[in-house]
């Protein structure tokens, strides 16, 4: 009996090795949350506050009074046509970028993930997906512009004038190639993980049951990858719809797409009574992009079931 009591007393007096107390864990978590302060401040200053100001300005006149005039301008045929141009351009470049990017991802499946070719493609995709704006516009002007290297070569060598029917590069059709230029690498970045997540066991089971490669893709591969492909397509659409710098550098006159229409509303001195029209246009863009990104989140959540 004495031995048991001594053992109990020793156990009670021995230091606990069960781990840190609840108070210590709470203290560690509170310190860890401090790491989010810089990111939170960045999001508030450069995303949340500009968004609130852009939306709010659309409901106020130049004298600060509340008005619906700017918002009702979204129903103007010119504004609706601008949104239609942006949506059409974004949808076209998103589809082409998604298809071409998916084919590139499929070609990369047969390459060693740790090899030099795969690493080079991944690095190039990461860089080119962010290669936009004035730099990209200058690259296209210098190569296929009216006095570009390729344009002059085709004219002097083959008497082929690609600008015979107008300066298409400096209009909305001219934005297709530059947008696809950064849409394809973005597709490679977003879709490659989903394609690489296809389990070899599924292909083996398909062959065991007498299936072919075609039947595997039709009955297993494509249905499994469809949510990820659709999610990437939506992301590419939102990326193209909100792009501004490349279009602004190529198209110096006119406002055929929404970002350029916002620029015109901010800089024009002839807009009377609708000085805050840019805020209403920004509200329309935020609504469109918000819907697209909401759909992207839902589809991506479904795609994550197959990638887990």
Q: Write out pLDDT tens, residues 282-295.
A: 888 888 988 998 88
Tell which wins on pLDDT, 50 or 21: 50
Residue 66, beta-bridge partner list: 60
Share of the chain above pLDDT 90, in %: 27
**What is the SS3 string spanning 34-85?**
HHHHHHHHHHHHHHHHHHHHHHHHCCECCCCCECCHHHHHHHCHHHHHHHHH
Average pLDDT over residues 270-288: 75
pLDDT at 12: 46
3 state SS of 129: coil
**Contacts with 56 (C-beta within 8 Å, 6 or more apart), sequence order:** 279
Answer yes or no: are the C-beta atoms of 118 and 230 closer than 8 Å.
no
Q: Quote the CA–CA distance of 35 and 120 in Å, as a whole number.
A: 33
Average pLDDT over residues 211-231: 87
Q: Quick: pLDDT tens for 69-97.
A: 778 878 888 889 999 999 999 999 999 99
Domains of the chain by range and CATH? 77-307 (1.10.3720.10)
- Comparing 26-30, 57-61, 195-199, the range with the smallest average pLDDT is 26-30
Q: Quote the CA–CA distance of 151 and 141 in Å, as a whole number.
A: 10
pLDDT at 4: 42
| Whether the predicted pLDDT of 156 surpasses 80 | yes
Average pLDDT, the chain: 82
CA angle 231, 236, 242 (to 5 degrees): 125
| Whether the predicted pLDDT of 278 surpasses 70 | yes
Would you tell me the crossing angle of helices 277-307 and 258-267 to the nearest 10 degrees? Answer: 150
Q: Say which DSSP state 15 is in.
A: P
């Amino acid at each position: 009996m004495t031995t048991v009591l001594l053992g109990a007393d020793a156990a009670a007096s021995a230091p606990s090795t069960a781990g840190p107390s609840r108070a210590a864990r709470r203290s560690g978590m509170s310190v860890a949350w401090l790491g989010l302060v810089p990111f939170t401040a960045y999001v508030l200053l450069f995303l949340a506050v500009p968004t609130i100001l852009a939306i709010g300005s659309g409901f106020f006149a130049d004298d600060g009074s509340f008005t619906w005039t700017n918002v009702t301008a979204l129903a103007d045929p010119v504004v609706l046509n601008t949104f239609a141009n942006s949506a059409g351009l974004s949808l076209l470049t998103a589809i082409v970028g998604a298809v071409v990017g998916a084919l590139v991802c499929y070609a990369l499946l047969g390459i060693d993930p740790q090899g030099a070719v795969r690493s080079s493609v991944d690095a190039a995709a990461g860089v080119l997906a962010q290669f936009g704006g004035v730099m990209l516009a200058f690259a296209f002007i210098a190569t296929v512009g009216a006095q570009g290297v390729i344009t002059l070569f085709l004219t002097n060598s083959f008497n082929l004038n690609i600008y015979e029917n107008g300066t298409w590069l400096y209009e909305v059709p001219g934005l297709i190639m530059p947008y696809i230029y950064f849409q394809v690498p973005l597709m490679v970045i977003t879709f490659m993980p989903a394609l690489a997540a296809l389990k070899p066991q599924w292909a083996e089971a398909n062959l065991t049951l007498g299936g072919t490669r075609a039947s595997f893709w039709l009955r297993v591969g494509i249905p499994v990858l469809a949510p990820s492909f659709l999610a990437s397509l939506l992301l590419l659409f939102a990326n193209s719809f909100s792009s501004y710098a490349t279009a602004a550098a190529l198209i110096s006159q006119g406002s055929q797409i929404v970002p350029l229409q916002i620029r015109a509303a901010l800089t024009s001195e002839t807009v009377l009574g609708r000085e805050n029209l840019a805020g209403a246009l920004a509200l329309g863009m935020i609504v469109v992009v918000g819907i697209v990104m909401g759909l992207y989140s839902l589809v991506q959540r479904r795609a994550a079931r197959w990638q887990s």
